[in-house]
Each structure stands twice: as structure tokens, then as C-alpha cells.
Amino acid sequence: MKKRKFGPASAVLTVGLAMAVAWSGPAQAGKADDTLNWSTNREIAVVDPYYNNTRELVIMGHMGWDGLVYRDQETGEYQPLLATSWKWADDTALEFELRDDVKFHDGSDFDADDVVYTFNHVSNKNNGVLTFRNVSWIKNAEKLGPHKVRVNLHKPFPPALAYLANAAFILPSGHYDGAPAKADGNPDFAAVEPVGTGPYKVADVKAGEFVLMEKNEDYFANSSKGTPQIGTMRFRTITERNTQIAELMTGALDWIWDVPKEQAERMAAAPNITVENAKTFRVSYMAFDVDGDSGTDVFTKKKVRQAFAHAINRESIAKNLVGPASEVIHSACHPDQFGCTQDVIRYEYDPAKAKELLAEAGYPDGFEFDIYAYREREFTEAVIGDLAKIGVKAKLNFMQYRALRDIVRKGETPVNHMTWGSYSIPDVSAIVSNFFTHGPDDPAKDDKTKELVEVGDNSVEPETRKLYYKQAFERIAEEAYWLPMFTYAKYYAFSKDLDFTATSDEIPRFYTTKWN
């Protein structure tokens, strides 16, 4: 019985020994083994672009699958992808000529049947696509020839190409036919093995841990997406932000995002890391209870709303709290979206003017109210600080998104400070139509605004759309129904070995990355 050595000393010894064994450090990845290791905080179990609605699957969707068209991020123009050309047959029908040299990852040929099958499956509500709004505008698809299809719409839907490029990936015909049954007897479409035509193919998935994608060596030539460069892409779930940073610094990861500002600024000094701040489609806004549903009539007064617009130093919040790529917006849309204009009335930061307006509205000594928020607490706290300077006392109700959303939609919030990401759709209909056509998120329910927005929503003529949307934005700004605040900006941190460019739609195109 020689086990007397057990004690703190031996514990320390064991740890020391372990360190000696591990002296060579954890396995290094990245450029050396041609594997891009990227990580976010989400667990991914289902690798299917229609039955998983996470941002990660949108990113992987663009890697593993192709849409009919491709949107050039720089010019905003649509280019061919699986389709070679297209035209509007009428206001509710788009016709596409398809490529005849594309193969799916399983070796089968791509043709019109695949497009017809995919669109008819996903547009059928009973098939339970998670973000149904991405495809709900499709009525059906029909085959016009071996490489020609017609997509019929329920009604005119001008941003159709934006959705086709961003969220309508093509699957092989009969893809979901062999779906296993769930416990309730319904088919479990999410359980089907992923097959696409994209520049990368899914090689291995461990639910909640990693998704491994490998370069598709047979990816079709002259694709608008280019030719994939890096051999393997490995996605890993690491929930804790500090752990992600630690792994990036030690080389076990090559790419992370959503790094908090202070940490990003500190990381920028590291010799092996590039830190980039890039704008996103998400905007911050403040919505007022214009129709007085919440029980207070303060915000039914236009001058109070305008006073708020003058009182809040949006420029300071954007630059000091969000990041250098963030910009103040004056209109209820993102500047990168089609149809967005910043040419509307502007409320410059002017506390004196704000006080004046408050006095004119009958509140010379200010008032108290409840403000609701869910996202970055410090942004809302900055707003509260600015309002205090004009004598308005805001009580912060900070809640979980799903709880807040309920009460916002019931009209119970006098003011809510929220955000909107427009589903990364580069068209103003993805924002203004949600908030100003009398839907549950509409704070004003103004008939005139609704009318203007709907003309824009239903016309396929770009100039007509721009004209009517502009009038709607002018009215929203003039009446101060909404206070558009600023665009969000994200911090990306990645290995200096990686040649990566961020895009404002928050969809990193990993298939375009290469090693430096």
C-alpha cells in the first residue's frame, strides 16, 4: 500500500506534468492544414437552409447551395448563378433560363425539375419551412423546358430577386421524399442529408459541436461566386465570447465576430490578428406610441416626438459605443437597401431646441415615462442620459426579446428602443412594409403612409418604387413616428493569414476567402 503520496503536492505535480506533456501547445490549425476554423456562439444541429433559421445556416447556405441569381455586394447588381438569364414575364411571373453544366454534390445533374421541386416544396405552408416569409411570395414553379422554368407569384413582389439571391437555395428534385418520420408521424425534413450545388459540401456534422465542409472540387466554372480556394471549413460552437477570443489568439480559431468593442480595440494590438469594424443591415430605432394605446397620450403629440429626436445625441452613441463603421440614419431604412433615401427632414442634436419643443407641447418641466429595450443596455442608457438633460425621466424596462415583442405588439409600450435586421434583404420593403402598413409593429397606423408604402411594395417599376417610398420616408420623418437611430456595426477578428472581406448583410462569404 504505497499510496501515501496523495495530497496537494501530488495534485500540483500532476498538473505540472500535464503542462510538460502539453508544452507543444494545442493543435494549431488554419493555414498550415488548409482549414479555416470559424466559430460563433450557436449550436448547429440541422444543416438545411430551410429547416434551420439561424444566421449560421444562412452563411453555410451560401457555401453549400446556390440560388438562381447572385447579388454583387459591391454594385448591388444581380448576376447569373444557377440561372443564365431571367425576365419578368408579367407582374407576377419570372422566367429563368438555367445552366446545363451544374452537378449536385451527389453527382446528379441540375435541371428545371430541381427548381420546380424546390420551390413547390418550400412554398407549401404545410411543409413547415421555418422562415416562411422568405418564400411565401412564391405561388408555384412550373417547368417550361429541360432548362427553363417559370416562377409564379401570388401578387407583384418587386424584391423577388433579392430573396432568390439570399434565401432561396436549390435542392435536388425529390430531396425530402425519403425524410424519416418524427414521433408524431409527420416527416422530419430537417433530418435529410444535405445536398446542394454550392462551392462547399457538407462532410461531417456533430450536432451542437461542429460542421465540417469541404471544397467542392467539381464546382461549376465561371460561377459568379468564383472558385473556392480554402480546402476545409470547420465551424465550431463556442458560446463564451472570452473563450472564442482566447482560441483566436492561440491560433486554434481563424475567424470570429461579434467581438465587444473594448475587447476588439485591445485585440487590434495583437500581431497575428486583424480586427475590422463593418456595418450591418441592422438598424437601431425608437418607436413612439403615436396612437396612445399604452395609456399615456404624451407621445401622441408630434412636438414631444420631435423633441426626443433633437435631444438624443445619436452621433455620439454611434461613434463611441457602437463602432467606427456605425452611422446615424435619418430615414426608416438602411442606406444600403434599395429604395432607401436619407433625403428627409433631419433632427440635429440640439438640446435647447428640444426643451423649447417640449415647452410648446405643454411640458416645460419634462415628464416621466417607461422606455423598453432588449438589446444593448448601454445604448439605451445613453439615450436615457440624453433625455435627462432636457428634464425627461425615462424608466428603463430591460427585457428578453420574446417577452418584449409581445407587449410591443399589444401596444403597451410608450416608447420602445429596438432593432431590425431586415433579414439581410437589401430592399426597403423588408423594413418599412413591416412597420408602416398597419401590421402589429406599426406604431402609428397612418393611412397615408400605408398607402405610399404599398404602392412601392406592389410595383415592379424601380423608379416608381423609389418615388413612393421616398414620400413615405419623408412623411415618417416629418411626423417623427419613428426615430431612426443608427446602423449597427460588428467587430470581426480574424487571423492575419486570412484574406477576408466583411459585407454589410452580415453574411460572411467564406467561399471567397483565401490565405494570404
Q: How far is the CB of 434 from another protein (least distance, A)?
A: 7
**Chain positions contacting another protein, by CB under 8 A:** 6-8, 10-11, 15, 18-19, 21-23, 25-27, 43, 45-46, 51, 53-54, 125, 128, 130-133, 136, 182-184, 188, 190-191, 207-209, 236-240, 242-243, 246-247, 249-250, 252, 400-403, 405-406, 409, 420-421, 423, 434, 439-440
Q: Residue 165 and residue 338: Cα distance in Å, rounded?
A: 14
Length of the chain: 516
Select 51 or 96, whichever has its Cβ closest to another protein.
Answer: 51
Contact status, residue 117 vs residue 128, Cβ threshold 8 Å: no
Residue whose C-alpha is closest to residue 376's, from 307, 449, 284: 284
Q: How far is the CB of 389 from another protein (least distance, A)?
A: 32
Select 179 or 455, whichever has its Cβ closest to another protein.
Answer: 179
Select 217 or 262, whichever has its Cβ closest to another protein.
Answer: 262
Q: What is the DSSP letter of 27?
A: P
Q: How far is the CB of 425 from another protein (least distance, A)?
A: 11
Select 210 or 367, whichever has its Cβ closest to another protein.
Answer: 210
Query: Which residues have a Cβ under 8 Å from the Cβ of 152 and sit 6 or more positions away?
Result: 92, 93, 138, 139, 140, 141, 142
Select 18 or 32, whichever has its Cβ closest to another protein.
Answer: 18
Q: How far is the CB of 464 from another protein (least distance, A)?
A: 25
Burial of 126 (0-12, 13-18, 19+ CB in 10 A): exposed
Residue whose C-alpha is closest to residue 35's, from 255, 262, 190: 255
Select 11 or 32, whichever has its Cβ closest to another protein.
Answer: 11
Q: How far is the CB of 319 from another protein (least distance, A)?
A: 25
Select 84 or 239, whichever has its Cβ closest to another protein.
Answer: 239
- How many helices (DSSP H) and strands (DSSP E) are in the chain? 14, 18
Q: Residue 436 and residue 448: Cα distance in Å, rounded?
A: 10
Instruction: Find cell 472581406 and name the residue.
Output: 501
Q: How far is the CB of 4 from another protein (least distance, A)?
A: 9
Q: How far is the CB of 409 from another protein (least distance, A)?
A: 8
Select 11 or 352, whichever has its Cβ closest to another protein.
Answer: 11
Instruction: Give me the helix-helix angle, 351-360 and 302-311, nearest 10°.
Output: 170
Contact status, residue 202 vs residue 216, Cβ threshold 8 Å: no
Q: How far is the CB of 43 from another protein (least distance, A)?
A: 5
Q: How far is the CB of 267 from another protein (least distance, A)?
A: 12
- Which SS3 state, helix, strand or coil, does residue 235 take? strand
Long-range CB contacts (within 8 A, 24+) of 344-348: 344/473, 344/474, 344/476, 344/477, 344/478, 345/474, 345/477, 345/478, 346/477, 347/306, 347/309, 347/310, 347/480, 347/483, 348/310
Q: Residue 216 and residue 234: Cα distance in Å, rounded?
A: 14
Select 327 or 442, whichever has its Cβ closest to another protein.
Answer: 442
Q: How far is the CB of 364 from another protein (least distance, A)?
A: 39
Select 284 or 313, whichever has its Cβ closest to another protein.
Answer: 284
Select 293 or 360, whichever has its Cβ closest to another protein.
Answer: 293
Query: Which residues have a Cβ under 8 Å from the Cβ of 281 and sit 6 or more positions away?
Result: 334, 336, 337, 421, 422, 424, 425, 426, 487, 504, 505, 506
DSSP result, 178-189: TPPB-TTSSB-G
Q: How far is the CB of 237 from another protein (least distance, A)?
A: 7
Q: How many C-beta atoms lie closer than 10 Å to residue 360's C-beta?
A: 14
